[in-house]
Amino acid sequence: MLSTSVVIVAASAIPVGKIQTGPLDDYQVVEHEVLSRVVTAAVNEAGIDKSSIDSLVFSEPHIYTQQRYFSTFMTSYLGLQCRGAVMEVMGNGMTGGFAFEQAADQIRLGRAKVALALGVNMETATSAAQHMNMSMRATGDIDFHSPAGFTPISWYAMDATRYMHEHGATRADLASVAVKNRLHASLNPLAHFRKPITVEDVLNSRPVVEPLSLLDVPPRDDGAVCLVLAEEEYARTLGKPFVRIRGRGSYHEGIHQVGDRPYDMIAFNSAARAAQAAYQDAGISAADIDLAELYAPCTIVEILVSEAVGLTKRGDGARAAAARETALGGRIPINTSGGCQSRGHPARLTPLYNALELFEQLTQRAGARQVADARLGLMSCELGNYNAALIHVLERGQ
What pLDDT digit, counting tens, does each position of 12-52 carry? 999 999 998 888 888 888 899 999 999 999 999 999 999 99
28 in a structural domain: yes
What pLDDT digit, counting tens, does each position of 224-269 carry? 999 999 999 999 999 999 999 999 999 999 887 777 778 899 999 9
Average pLDDT over residues 316-320: 98
34 in a structural domain: yes
> Which residues constitute the domain of residue 79?
6-126+222-238
Checking if the pLDDT of 1 tops 70, the result is: no
What pLDDT digit, counting tens, does each position of 330-346 carry? 999 999 999 999 999 99
CA angle 88, 223, 344 (to 5 degrees): 120
Burial class (CB in 10 A: 0-12, 13-18, 19+), 195: exposed
46 in a structural domain: yes
393 in a structural domain: no
Checking if the pLDDT of 2 tops 60, the result is: no
What pLDDT is recorded for position 39? Answer: 98
Average pLDDT over residues 285-297: 98
268 in a structural domain: no
The pLDDT > 90 percentage for the chain reads: 81
What pLDDT is recorded for position 262? Answer: 81
Q: Is 204 helix (H, G, I), strand (E, B) or coil?
A: helix
The pLDDT > 70 percentage for the chain reads: 97
More confident of the two residues 194 and 1: 194
What pLDDT digit, counting tens, does each position of 346-392 carry? 999 999 999 999 999 999 999 999 999 999 999 999 988 899 999 99
Distance CA(342)–CA(310), nearest Å, equals 24
E strand segments, the chain: 6-13, 55-59, 86-89, 114-121, 207-209, 212-213, 223-231, 243-252, 291-293, 376-382, 388-396
More confident of the two residues 318 and 26: 318
203 in a structural domain: no
Exposed e or buried b per residue across 22-50, where buried means at least 16 C-beta atoms within 10 angstroms of its C-beta: eeeeeeeeebbebbbebbebbbeebebee
Checking if the pLDDT of 146 tops 70, the result is: no
Sequence-ordered alpha helix ranges (H) in 47-117: 70-78, 95-108
Count: domains in the chain: 1
What pLDDT is recorded for position 150? Answer: 72
DSSP secondary structure code for residue 11 in this structure: E
117 in a structural domain: yes
91 in a structural domain: yes
What pLDDT is recorded for position 79? Answer: 96
Q: Is 215 helix (H, G, I), strand (E, B) or coil?
A: helix
Q: Is 89 helix (H, G, I), strand (E, B) or coil?
A: strand
Average pLDDT over residues 99-122: 97
What pLDDT digit, counting tens, does each position of 169-217 carry? 999 999 999 999 999 999 999 999 999 999 999 999 999 999 999 999 9
Q: Domain holding 25: CATH number?
A: 3.40.47.10
